[in-house]
Structure 1
Amino acid sequence: MKELIEYILQFGNLNQQQIDFISKKATELDLQKDAYFSEARKIPKQVGFIVNGVVRGCYYSNKGEEITRCFISENSLMVDYINFESNTASSEYLQAITDCKLIVFSKQNWEELSQTIVGWDNIKNKMVQICMFQKSRKGPVISQDATTRYLEFMENYPSLINRVPLAYIASYLGVTQQSLSRIRKNIR
């Protein structure tokens, strides 16, 4: 819980009573590797904060290909916010790539924070903005050659290189796993 509170306090000030209220409304959740935090065609029901682990945002193309759109790791908020807020079905999946330790708020508890804590909406909006930026961060520019895309991935996600399966990195980069292996071999 300490990690979540430290994260929240970057965006505004809270007194001890407010911090205690937030802690009371949150629950800890262990999400096993490959499990889904939220799924396509379902309404997202919770907001998560990643204490430990890595999650990916992915979807299926109209050809049925699985495409990884983003990676979300420690000290990050995670939610399909637009669909969460509007109570509509998501078109993407949020899937654990590693075993994850999360702090989670149900929709009702998340809304209670806004109704109870003065200034929470301001803090929440700043956190959600970062969350949406991370989630919407466009994948690599396909007009770049694959090596450049991989080098940019290494620069943007240095802590994920050895934590994320190559298949997901290849999907994110828009290359085959074989091509990615060749690129990695040539870089070393």
Structure 2
Amino acid sequence: MSHDSEKPDPDLRTRLVDVGVDLVALEGVGALTLREIARRAGVSHGAPRRYFPTHVELLSAIARRGFTELAGRVTTALGDGGARPRAQLAELGRTYLEFALDNPGMYELMFRHELLKSGHLRLRDTSLPLFRTLVDLVGRARPDLRADARTVAGALWANLHGIAQLWGWGSLQLATDTDDFAPLLHTALDAHLGPEGGR
């Protein structure tokens, strides 16, 4: 049955995003076509365009869900902020890596450059606060760093992203002969912040 002639339905918009979230979890980014999302939502293939005029806008709405979930996990992990900044960075890193490994399809979608650059649905406003949290914690953990905290945070984020990708592919387990990413996380923190207690 076609829904194209009906008035816009906010519940259908939500359902399209819900279907996309489920689809990326089950089958990965490559499965996220407008036609497949419409089919699984039980609407005509043209219906999603009334809510998302472009494919990128729909992908951005799906990715936004991922950022919202990741931000919620980070907020929970950091708690009331009473822990030392270095310990909070370790928690943030662990949470980031666990999210990436638990949600590989969503994680890939969230960090696709063309979505972030497009600015659709204020996706940059969803992703950048997490980076600002990282910058703040780096600055508080090492106020004596000569480098700008954003630069160090960017390098640390790149390191975490690399661990997530290589771990997800199974490469790091093979190379390091371990099934625990915690030592890699702590080594990354040491590499970017200096050894804990080393000041």
TM-score (norm 1): 0.28
Bigger helix share? 2
TM-score (norm 2): 0.27
Bigger strand share? 1
Which structure: larger Rg?
A: 2
